[in-house]
Amino acid sequence: MLRSAIPCSALLVALAACGGGGGGDSTAPPTPGPAASVTVTLPAATLALGDSARATATVKDARGTTLPNAVVTWSSSARSLLTINPTTGVAKAINFAPGFDTASVVATVSGLTGASRLTIRPPTAATIGLLPNAFIPPQQYLVVGGTLTFDFPPGIQHNVIFVKAPGVPNDILPAQNTKITRTFGTAGTFHYDCTIHPGMSADVIVVP
């Protein structure tokens, strides 16, 4: 009885075509678990009064897998200073006072929270409106080097007379229907009046 010999190379090819009998690697990635950590990131650690910034949240499970579809609810730790859109995470600085100028941006996912601290700073520029008998706002914060623009309405004259102090800018003579800017290069509180309208006064507080 004759036996036909099968070359070893042919046998190896046949085994490879059948997967070598091992069935291949069918390992699937693990199913993500529930949220275990929430990290909040801000574009910067400070936000000027009146400005807005969008916060982002990174949510991970216990294995460190990122959960990109996690539903995040946003809130502020101090709503008198900082408002936050609960859906988009856009934060806006609405108030400032020395010693009362920080708030946390908080992200909540399934009862788990993460937060990042934000410091609110005064603006570098602001506008003062002039009503018939009032400056609006009556108190304005600026950083050193900031500018204040006085918006004089038509039909009525006002002036801006500063109480003399180191670093005080020049007074503004009677004007109407124009905008005039003053720069404040020194920290301090600067009081000013419209002497045309008694009782019409305000302050600009300049901080480092």
Residue closest to 141 by CA, chosen among 97, 84, 80, 185: 97
Q: How many whole angstroms separate alpha carbon 206 and alpha carbon 138? A: 14
C-alpha distance from residue 189 to each of 50, 91, 94, 139, 163 (Å): 21, 29, 21, 10, 10
Whether residue 2 is predicted with pLDDT greater than 50 in this model: the reply is no
CATH topology classification for 125-207: Immunoglobulin-like (2.60.40)
Find tokens 């800017």 and name the residue: 181
User: pLDDT, tens digit, for every residue of 147-195?
Assistant: 999 999 999 999 999 999 999 999 999 999 999 999 999 999 999 999 9
The radius of gyration computed from the CA coordinates of the chain, to the nearest angstrom, equals: 33
Say yes or no: do domains 37-121 and 125-207 share a fold: yes
Domain-wise residue ranges, the chain: 37-121, 125-207
pLDDT at residue number 97: 81
Q: Residues 85-138: pLDDT tens digits?
A: 999 999 999 988 888 899 999 999 999 999 999 999 999 999 999 999 999 999
What pLDDT, on the 0 to 100 scale, is given for residue 8? Answer: 46
The CATH class of the 37-121 domain is mainly beta
CA distance 40 to 55: 7
For residue 16, pLDDT beyond 60: no
Range 40-47 average pLDDT: 95
Dist CA 179 CA 133 (whole Å): 18
Q: Given this model, what pLDDT does residue 6 score?
A: 47
Contact 98, 92 (CB under 8 A): no
